[in-house]
Amino acid sequence: MLELREITKRFGDVLANDHVNIVVKPGTIHAIVGENGAGKSTAMRIAYGFYTADSGEILVDGQVREIRSPHDAIALGIGMVHQHFMLVETMTVAENIVLGAEPGSSFALDLKSAAAQIRQLSEEFKLAVNPNEPVEHLSVGQQQRVELLKALYRHAKLLILDEPTAVLTPLEVEEFFGILRRMRAQGKTVIIITHKLSEVLAISDEVTVMRDGKVVGGVQTKDTNAAELARMMVGREVLLRVEKPDADVGRAALEVRNLSVTTATGAKRVDNISFQVRTGEIVGIAGVEGNGQTELIEALAGLVEPAQITGEIIIDGKNINAVSARARRELGISHIPEDRHRRGLLLDFNLAENSILGVHYRPPITRLAGNVFLDDGAIRRRATEIIEAFDVRPRNAALPARSLSGGNQQKLIIGREYHVNPKVLLVSQPTRGVDIGAIEFIHRQLVKLRDQGCAILLVSAELEEVTSLSDRLLVVHDGKIAGEVDPKVATLEEIGLLMTRGH
């Protein structure tokens, strides 16, 4: 169906694809795995016409083709769903799907026939989306279905999916896999770019493994396992489970009493919850995304207006409801946000500048406390320490943050927050979009910080992650705590029921 032959692509000094050869058979689900920066997305964007290769050939249905733009790829029956959806939220499902391929004439848009065609495709593949619903009213899982329908509406025979399950709940992942299996049964070919090995083993027929811009192996899924794939991806043995000693728990470092958080419009997102996090423990919060986790963490970090909060947030016996985010950092609270681009980094600033965010007013970064005069030497030293200790690649503090892969951006943020030796660490989605080698590293660092006496509150949509890292696990549903479970003995099914039903 698709063949890449000797594809090479450079971005300046970076060799993103180095003589890449990939063969995708028709009617299969083909996984492409590798660490962040391995070159897998670049190779597939070349196949889709987003990038043009410096050298090499693309064959579709056995014939060499020139693919210079996504328009060329679509004409050849290739569709792509990107990791960050490309939808106009204020438009309806049907309007988004036909955008750029509008039915009717330039004088009269025929949305009625488009909606009928969309309904037919939706029923055929059991995608269950209302064509007349505005996209802004849809869940993330439903938005992904709209992206699939966009490609199918354009008669795609080959679908390329970039990190398709990154923002889906476990239930949505199962439903999504059912859709992919139906597509395969109807003769479609699917390529999944991912780093989640359990999902690769559950859904794919064949796997291509990439490392450092090269293809390092290709295997039949039935003939491999997670450990072998991880070893091929990283080039060494990788620990696939979290190993940690029992927690040495001390006093309550963070206490939350009857906390409620409302939005600016008055909607209650966190509803009268109480818990505590003690020194030397990781307390996990599991729940379907959108059940108040984001608002809880942001309220604790000082990113919500005090008027929107009732109840008490207590650090070391002191109520901090009215305390600013900066003052909370001075009290020892650090925050690793779920959205690293919106909350964690200034993408156009370089790594050195990003490494001092939150401490830019303190000596030795400033020559005088609170002074505007920054010490370039101190900034460089701090950045170098973080980059080396947390294996941020490339190791160049002068690079803009946006030039790093997602995993390396995440390691920079985590390194920056660890560097202040926090008493309380609020961490949301620490490994979202992060490759397997970096996940192992981040997990070790969280356990290490816990063992040094830090109180850690962890929110993760990855059930396996939150259960393996946590010493205690709270499950939230509809802004309330639905229950507390022991992650050592609770099953994923029990936790999943609490997540979805609230009891």
- Whether 73 and 83 map to the same domain: the answer is yes
| Residue 249 structure tokens | 């728990």
| Residue 170 structure tokens | 């476990």
Within 10 angstroms of residue 410's Cβ, the number of other Cβ atoms is 27
Asked whether residue 209 carries a pLDDT value surpassing 90, the answer given is yes
Judge contact between 193 and 44, C-beta under 8 A: yes
Q: Looking at residue 369, what is its pLDDT?
A: 54
- Of residues 136 and 204, the one with the higher pLDDT is 204
Q: Looking at residue 356, what is its pLDDT?
A: 95
Domain boundary among 390, 420, 450: 420
Note whether residue 278 is domain-resident.
yes
- Whether 229 and 254 map to the same domain: the answer is no
- Whether 120 and 38 map to the same domain: the answer is yes
CA 401, CA 394: separation in Å to the nearest integer? Answer: 11
Asked whether residue 423 carries a pLDDT value surpassing 70, the answer given is yes
CB under 8 Å, gap of 24 or more: what pairs does 171-175 form? 171/496, 171/500, 172/139, 172/140, 172/141, 173/199, 175/141
Cα pseudo-dihedral 64, 65, 68, 72, rounded to 10: -160
| Exposed e or buried b per residue across 430-457, where buried means at least 16 C-beta atoms within 10 angstroms of its C-beta | bbbbbbbbbbbbbbebbbebbeebbbbb
Three-state secondary structure of 18-33: EEEEEEECCCCEEEEE
DSSP of 329-351, one letter per residue? HHTTEEEE-S-IIIII--TTSBH
Instruction: Quote the domain boundaries for residue 278.
Output: 239-332+422-503
As a whole number, the mean pLDDT across the chain is: 89
Asked whether residue 470 carries a pLDDT value surpassing 70, the answer given is yes
- Whether 247 and 368 map to the same domain: the answer is no
- Of residues 83 and 217, the one with the higher pLDDT is 217
Note whether residue 398 is domain-resident.
yes
CA 324, CA 312: separation in Å to the nearest integer? Answer: 15
pLDDT (mean) for 162-191 = 85
At 160, is the secondary structure helix, strand, or coil?
strand
At 107, is the secondary structure helix, strand, or coil?
coil
Q: Among 62-66, 152-156, 231-235, 490-494, which range has the highest average pLDDT?
A: 62-66
The CA-based angle 449-430-249, given to 5 degrees, is: 30
- Of residues 96 and 168, the one with the higher pLDDT is 96
Closest CA to 213 of 2, 34, 51, 403: 34
| Exposed e or buried b per residue across 118-150, where buried means at least 16 C-beta atoms within 10 angstroms of its C-beta | beebbeebebebbbeeebeebeebbbbbbbbbb
Residue 220's pLDDT band (cuts 50, 70, 90): very high
Note whether residue 338 is domain-resident.
no
Note whether residue 292 is domain-resident.
yes
> 8-60, pLDDT tens digit by residue?
999 888 899 999 999 999 999 999 998 877 899 899 999 999 999 999 999 99
Q: How many structural domains are present in the chain?
A: 3
| Residue 42 structure tokens | 């670049």
- Of residues 455 and 130, the one with the higher pLDDT is 455
- Whether 387 and 430 map to the same domain: the answer is no
| Residue 191 structure tokens | 């390529």
- Whether 203 and 81 map to the same domain: the answer is yes
Helix (H) or strand (E) holding 426: strand 424-428
Asked whether residue 482 carries a pLDDT value surpassing 90, the answer given is yes
**What pTM value is reported for the model?**
0.72
What is the CATH classification number for the domain harbouring 295?
Answer: 3.40.50.300
- Whether 416 and 435 map to the same domain: the answer is no
Q: Looking at residue 502, what is its pLDDT?
A: 59
Domain boundary among 420, 441, 472: 420
Q: How far is CA 360 from the centre of its chain?
A: 28
- Of residues 367 and 24, the one with the higher pLDDT is 24
Cα pseudo-dihedral 365, 368, 374, 380, rounded to 10: -30
Which of 30-34, 162-166, 191-195, 478-482 is least confident?
A: 162-166
- Whether 108 and 47 map to the same domain: the answer is yes
pLDDT (mean) for 242-265 = 92
> 159-172, pLDDT tens digit by residue?
999 888 876 767 77
> 222-248, pLDDT tens digit by residue?
999 988 998 898 888 776 678 888 999
- Whether 357 and 382 map to the same domain: the answer is yes
